C-alpha cells in the first residue's frame, strides 16, 4: 500500500467523510451490480463480461478509435501469466489497475478465464496466492 503525504492526508480527511467499509451498509437493491467501490462479481466469466468487456469488448476482440483497446483473442502476450498479473495489478499506459478493486481470488479467476478462452489455451492456472505475491511486487498504480 502506498502512503500519501501527511499534509495531503490531513487535507483529505478533513474534507472527506470516512465511513465504514461499503459492504456494511451497501444498497439492498442494486440489481446484481456491485454495492461498493470494489467488484462483487464472482467467477472469471462474470468478471470478464462486467469489467474487462467494457473496453476489450464482450468478444475480447478489442476496439479501435483514435486509439485502440487491444484484442485479447489468441493473444501471445498472455503466454506469461506474470505479464497479465502485472497489467491487472499495476495498470498499463491508459489502462487502470482494475485488480485494485478485486480480491486475489477474483484476479486469479479472471486471469485464468481469459487465458483459457477467446482462442487462448494456456493451461498453467494462477492461484490466489500467486496473485498475492504479484500484488506485493506490483509497482504502485
Exposure letters 26-62 (e unless 16+ CB within 10 A, then b) = eeeeeeeebeeeebbbeebebbbeebbeeebeeebee
Q: Which of the stretches 22-30, 75-83, 112-120, 130-138 binds another protein when contact is defined by CB under 8 A?
A: 22-30
Check binding of 83 to another protein (CB under 8 A): no
Check binding of 33 to another protein (CB under 8 A): yes
In the bound state with another protein, the residue whose beta carbon lies nearer, of 5 and 124, is 5
Q: How far is the CB of 80 from another protein (least distance, A)?
A: 19
Q: Which residue has the cell 470516512?
A: 18
* Positive or negative torsion for Cα 11, 15, 19, 25: negative
Q: How far is the CB of 88 from another protein (least distance, A)?
A: 12
Cβ–Cβ under 8 Å, residues 66 and 60? no
| Contact pick of 43, 99, 133, 141 for another protein (by CB under 8 A) | 141
| Contact pick of 55, 73, 125, 128 for another protein (by CB under 8 A) | 55
| Contact pick of 10, 42, 45, 54 for another protein (by CB under 8 A) | 54
- Please give the distance of CA 77 from its chain centroid, rounded to a whole number: 17
In whole angstroms, give the CA distance from residue 61 to residue 8.
41
In whole angstroms, give the CA distance from residue 125 to residue 96.
23
The site for another protein (CB under 8 A) is made up of: 1-6, 8-9, 11-12, 15-19, 21-22, 25-31, 33-34, 36-40, 49-55, 57-58, 63-69, 91, 93-98, 100-101, 140-141
Amino acid at each position: 500500500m502506498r502512503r500519501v503525504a501527511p499534509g495531503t492526508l490531513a487535507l483529505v480527511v478533513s474534507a472527506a467523510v470516512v465511513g465504514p467499509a461499503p459492504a456494511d451498509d451497501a444498497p439492498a437493491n442494486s440489481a446484481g451490480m456491485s454495492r461498493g467501490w470494489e467488484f462483487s462479481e464472482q467467477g472469471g466469466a462474470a468478471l470478464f463480461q462486467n469489467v474487462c468487456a467494457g473496453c476489450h469488448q464482450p468478444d475480447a476482440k478489442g476496439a479501435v478509435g483514435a486509439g485502440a483497446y487491444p484484442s485479447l483473442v489468441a493473444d501471445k502476450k498472455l503466454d506469461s501469466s506474470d505479464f497479465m498479473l502485472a497489467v491487472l495489478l499495476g495498470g498499463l499506459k491508459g489502462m487502470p489497475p482494475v485488480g485494485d478493486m478485486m480480491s486475489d481470488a477474483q484476479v486469479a479467476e479472471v486471469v485464468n478465464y481469459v487465458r483459457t478462452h477467446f482462442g487462448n489455451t494456456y493451461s498453467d492456472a494462477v492461484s490466489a496466492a500467486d496473485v498475492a505475491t504479484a500484488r506485493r511486487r506490483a509497482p504502485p498504480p
